[in-house]
Structure 1
Amino acid sequence: MLNYRQLHYFWVVARTGSIVRASEQLNLTAQTISGQISLLEQSMGSDLFRKVGRQLELTEAGRQALPYAEQIFQLGEELETLLRAQPDQQQAPFRVGVADVVPKSIVYRLLAPTMEQAEPLRLSCREDKLERLLADLAIQRLDLVVSDSPMPSHLDIKGFSQKLGECGISFFATAALAERHAGAFPQCLHGAPLLIPGPETVVRSRLLRWFGELHISPRIVGEFDDSALMQAFGQSGSGIFIAPSVIAEEVCRQYAVVLIGQTEAVRESFHAISVERKVCHPGVVAITEGARRELFTDRR
């Protein structure tokens, strides 16, 4: 069985970079820490550190072990904080994974209602690739995953999707770039420099298919999985970029750009994925109700 005290010594040494600094932090002798780590390495059957001059470096086994140790002791710290809190101060944790292709403004608008609950929630957000987030959802490290697509059918993971809403897309550019490509929309996009979402996004294929149907060929100058980075390049004048139409006004204000045009022929959708078919967690209820009541509404 894994000795968690020895694992803790390994974790502190890896974080501090030396046994001496770890001994100062743990208030133990360097010999004690070194001996305990040696016992851990013997029980694991692998060296976790190697000496390079006077420095310690993680071996490949050590690099693989470190993320697990990080999660174990981070959860331990969270548990200690939770249990030490007074009963009337305890906050229910709400752990949300966000697929990195979902625009940050949409994420904020979706999650904001969770901060307004009568019973306080402690929101924890993590951004990553969808498949890694769903793997953590399956083992209950996450309560919810927000994505631009429903639960993929090819994954052997039990999960249920709820569509939060959908909308058309809008095209934006700096005033100077918009003036250079003035004209009727969407024909004005023909030959114009365009920044598009990366291949992992659902909207990309829909966008390219729409261009093909209209016989419009923009000049693609950049592809981005991260929508915030795409918008930053758009703000600099590198090219025209897209965003969901429900946040069009916000994009114009935040990035000092102008709206070139909008289309409902290309639509983005957003989904909440959980391991429960019936929504029970108050945070998930707040997100689904807020999305349908405030963000994705007919009046928009």
Structure 2
Amino acid sequence: MSHLNYNHLYYFWMVCKKGSVSRAAESLFVAPQTVTGQIKVLEQRFNGKLLKRAGRNVEPTELGQLVYKYSDKMFGLSYEMLDIINYSQRENTLFEVGVADALSKRIVSRILGVGMPHDARIHLRCCESTHELLLEQLSQHKLDMILSDCPIGSAQDSGVYSKKLGGSKMSLFSSKRIRVESFPECLEQHDVLIPASQSSMGRQLIQWFEQQGLQPNIIGEFDDVALMKAFAIEHQAMFVAPSLYASEFRRSDEMREVAQIEELTEEYYVIFAERMIQHPAVKRICEADFSNLFES
């Protein structure tokens, strides 16, 4: 068998990953014509078409799907090799983490702290986004680990794993004194702030409203608890946040816990690719016991 040009194969793999020649070219820092030319040479090598039009995008043909299946394994292994080499050679190991923007930053900070050794040999880099976008970045080897409010789905890559770290009950808070006996009816008597509706907790909360037969006046959705609290004080609104914040709010004397919503729990999951299990920070977090954090 004659030699296979892996550069041509890599360009084809990137087009399949990105869904279009232009997006692949942008990621590769080359002209679209260069990508198209490389793929044409590869098609001549395999004696068949590898891509076909799908609206404004492209998708692999039957032959292309076969080639993509094997190239995905090949380049996935090459990234894994580079990761392992980098971990062993770097004096300071880079730890790139994606955090679902709906999660409590206070709890996330405590979880990430477990992964950081005292000798400062790990350099942490964090980014925030939605669960879906973070999973995409993980699949592209741009992240080592994700902290999210939901696990991976059964239909997702078999090489990606998730582990539940714990969960926090949710509570209703207010800057005004509200009779506990009026819960949950009081939700219809005041303006309400909730976690973003596209988040796992936001969806659970809206479903809980429906189950309780409540129609609260929701005036805002927030990813960040600190911002939601500030907005609630300014506009004298009630808001829903993890119960773990109750002691902190009591100390500041700005917020009161109206009631705990027993049916709702915000869950925390760590998600990582199989190759990352040997990353020292991922390993420390996966092996840690966070029961005290979520019970405090």
* TM-score class normalised by the smaller sequence: 0.5 to 0.7
1:192-229 CA distance string (max 9 Å, x none): 21101122111123222323333333221112244443
Q: Which amino acid aligns with 1:264?
A: E
Equivalents in 2 of 1:105, 1:201: separation in Å? 18
1:128-167 CA distance string (max 9 Å, x none): 1222211221232211001001113454574111001112
> 2:102 maps to what in 1?
101
Deviation (angstroms), 1:284: 1.9
1:228-281 CA distance string (max 9 Å, x none): 432331232441111112333234446831211112211111110001288432
Equivalents in 2 of 1:286, 1:225: separation in Å? 27
Q: How has the CA–CA distance of structure 1 residues 258 and 288 changed in structure 2, closer, same or farther, with 3 Å as cutoff?
A: farther
> 1:150 maps to what in 2?
151
Q: How has the CA–CA distance of structure 1 residues 42 and 260 changed in structure 2, closer, same or farther, with 3 Å as cutoff?
A: closer
Q: How has the CA–CA distance of structure 1 residues 157 and 44 changed in structure 2, closer, same or farther, with 3 Å as cutoff?
A: farther
- What SS does structure 1 have at the residue aligned with 2:169? strand
> 1:65 maps to what in 2?
none
Identity of matched residues, %: 34
Partners of 2:180 and 2:259 within 8 A in 1: no
Partners of 1:172 and 1:257 within 8 A in 2: yes
Deviation (angstroms), 1:296: 2.3
Partners of 1:110 and 1:290 within 8 A in 2: no
> 2:121 maps to what in 1?
120
Equivalents in 2 of 1:286, 1:147: separation in Å? 17
> 2:73 maps to what in 1?
none
> 2:179 maps to what in 1?
182
1:84-117 CA distance string (max 9 Å, x none): xxx8x92111111111111211211211222344
Partners of 1:169 and 1:263 within 8 A in 2: yes
Q: How has the CA–CA distance of structure 1 residues 232 and 42 changed in structure 2, closer, same or farther, with 3 Å as cutoff?
A: same
Q: How has the CA–CA distance of structure 1 residues 129 and 207 changed in structure 2, closer, same or farther, with 3 Å as cutoff?
A: closer
Q: Which amino acid aligns with 2:93?
A: A
> 1:191 maps to what in 2?
189
Equivalents in 1 of 2:133, 2:125: separation in Å? 16
Equivalents in 2 of 1:274, 1:151: separation in Å? 10
**Pairing 1:236–2:237 present:** no
Root-mean-square deviation (CA), in Å? 3.3
Q: Identify which range, 105-114 or 265-274, moves more after superposition.
A: 105-114
Equivalents in 2 of 1:205, 1:219: separation in Å? 16
- What SS does structure 1 have at the residue aligned with 2:194? strand
> 2:244 maps to what in 1?
246
Q: Which amino acid aligns with 1:101?
A: A
Equivalents in 1 of 2:132, 2:253: separation in Å? 31
- What SS does structure 2 have at the residue aligned with 1:205? helix
- What SS does structure 2 have at the residue aligned with 1:110? helix
Q: How has the CA–CA distance of structure 1 residues 141 and 41 changed in structure 2, closer, same or farther, with 3 Å as cutoff?
A: closer
Q: How has the CA–CA distance of structure 1 residues 155 and 236 changed in structure 2, closer, same or farther, with 3 Å as cutoff?
A: farther
1:17-62 CA distance string (max 9 Å, x none): xxxxxxxxxxxxxxxxxxxxxxx779869xxxxxxxxxxxxxxxxx
Q: How has the CA–CA distance of structure 1 residues 130 and 254 changed in structure 2, closer, same or farther, with 3 Å as cutoff?
A: farther
The partner residue of 1:266 within 245, 264, 270 is 264
TM score, norm. by length of structure 2:
0.63
> 2:112 maps to what in 1?
111
Q: How has the CA–CA distance of structure 1 residues 94 and 278 changed in structure 2, closer, same or farther, with 3 Å as cutoff?
A: closer
> 2:210 maps to what in 1?
212
Q: How has the CA–CA distance of structure 1 residues 271 and 43 changed in structure 2, closer, same or farther, with 3 Å as cutoff?
A: same
> 2:220 maps to what in 1?
222
Equivalents in 2 of 1:143, 1:165: separation in Å? 20
Partners of 2:246 and 2:256 within 8 A in 1: no
Partners of 1:165 and 1:291 within 8 A in 2: no
Q: Which amino acid aligns with 1:217?
A: Q
Aligned length: 218
- What SS does structure 1 have at the residue aligned with 2:143? coil
Equivalents in 2 of 1:253, 1:237: separation in Å? 21
Partners of 2:145 and 2:282 within 8 A in 1: yes
> 1:57 maps to what in 2?
none
Equivalents in 2 of 1:261, 1:190: separation in Å? 15
